[in-house]
Amino acid sequence: SSEVLEAIENVFQDVLKSLAQKKAPVLTMANRADWRNIEFKDSVGLQMIPHCTTKQIRSDCPRSALKFALVLKVLSMIYKMVQSNTYATKRDIYYSDTLLFGSQSVVDSIINDISCMLKIPRRSLHILSTTKGFVAGNLSYTEEDGTKVNCTCSATIILHAANLNRKDLISHAKFMLIVEKDATFQRLLDDDFCNKVSPCIMITGRGVPDLNTRLLVRKLWDSFQIPIFTLMDADPHGVEIMCIYKYGSVSMSFEAHHLTVPSIKWLGLLPSDLERLNIHKDVLIPFTKQDQNKLASIQKRPYIACQPMWKKELEIMAATKLKAEIQALTSLSSDYLSRVYLPNKLQFGGWL
């Protein structure tokens, strides 16, 4: 905490120095959205390069003056929370002054900018993200306040994964399955999938994963070193989500070391599965222009070059211009996913 306080004090001292010299204060931070600032390393994923291009938030420029003020406002809130050892969610910060911030996304972006500027992980800033992910299966752990959590019985909301110590995690799972959608996750729970094939841990970020879900996946990987498989829709959006778990995202590349698991495998739904299983054309969905653009963008990314099998699957998707949701498997039989598809894939190594 003293490191966080000192880092914030340094920012304010620089502002005061500029004012004393009758200069307009300026905040300088790494440009998180620029691909030129990102390098791909197959052992880590997408990470920010050490000497990256920066952007300035000026206090004397009409376009950036409000953002300058908002960054200082959030920094002062973080300072008070660290001093008093209290925490707030990103939503709490937004609702402390909705008129000033304007939207939740403005607050989220500023918090990530501050974390990147101070080179301090977001969880050390005493800001918690409102979590949306679920975990279920062969896992139990003890929270900071001593509460024992058992995920064997039902889906458990993923709380502040950053606070879990490795020694608090107990599991006899043989593998982990990351499921893109909540509906599929719940269906697999209803089918008792966690115990049927062999004990496993299932996780869903319910779409694009939040920070807590990604932290938990990484923490479980560090703790148990068991295979991790992903079950996504056979569409560009599903591939994008899988890549976030495996290689990280551009906007959070400064925290890649805590968030990515490059050993994650693509189990399904593979574009090649659609033809192999003779999925009826009626349940396939034609690409939109947005899908085509997303796929083209993914195909150009540095990590696809080192995944020749993935490259082939994306080429199949691009050639057919068709996508499929995991639910497409129910056209074969209502429990095909848990009874046939997943057990066969896991037994015979049908992953990439």
Q: Which two tokens stand for residue 267?
A: 């189990």
| Interatomic CA distance for residues 105 and 91, integer angstroms | 10
Residues contacting residue 276 through CB under 8 Å, at least 6 positions apart? none
Active-site residue 95, yes or no?
yes
Closest CA to 191 of 347, 329, 285, 351: 329
Compute the C-alpha angle 231/237/242, nearest 5°: 45
Residues contacting residue 171 through CB under 8 Å, at least 6 positions apart? 138, 139, 140, 199, 201, 220, 223, 224
Q: Which two tokens stand for residue 212?
A: 């807590």
| Interatomic CA distance for residues 136 and 192, integer angstroms | 11
Full DSSP string of 3-14: HHHHHHHHHHHH
Q: Which two tokens stand for residue 25?
A: 């204060």
| Interatomic CA distance for residues 139 and 8, integer angstroms | 38
Task: Give the burial class of 119: count Cβ atoms within 10 A of its Cβ; 0-12 exposed, 13-18 middle, 19 or more buried.
Answer: exposed
Residues contacting residue 102 through CB under 8 Å, at least 6 positions apart? none
Closest CA to 256 of 245, 242, 264, 240: 245
Residue tagged active-site, from 95, 141, 245, 341: 95
**Residues designated as active site:** 95
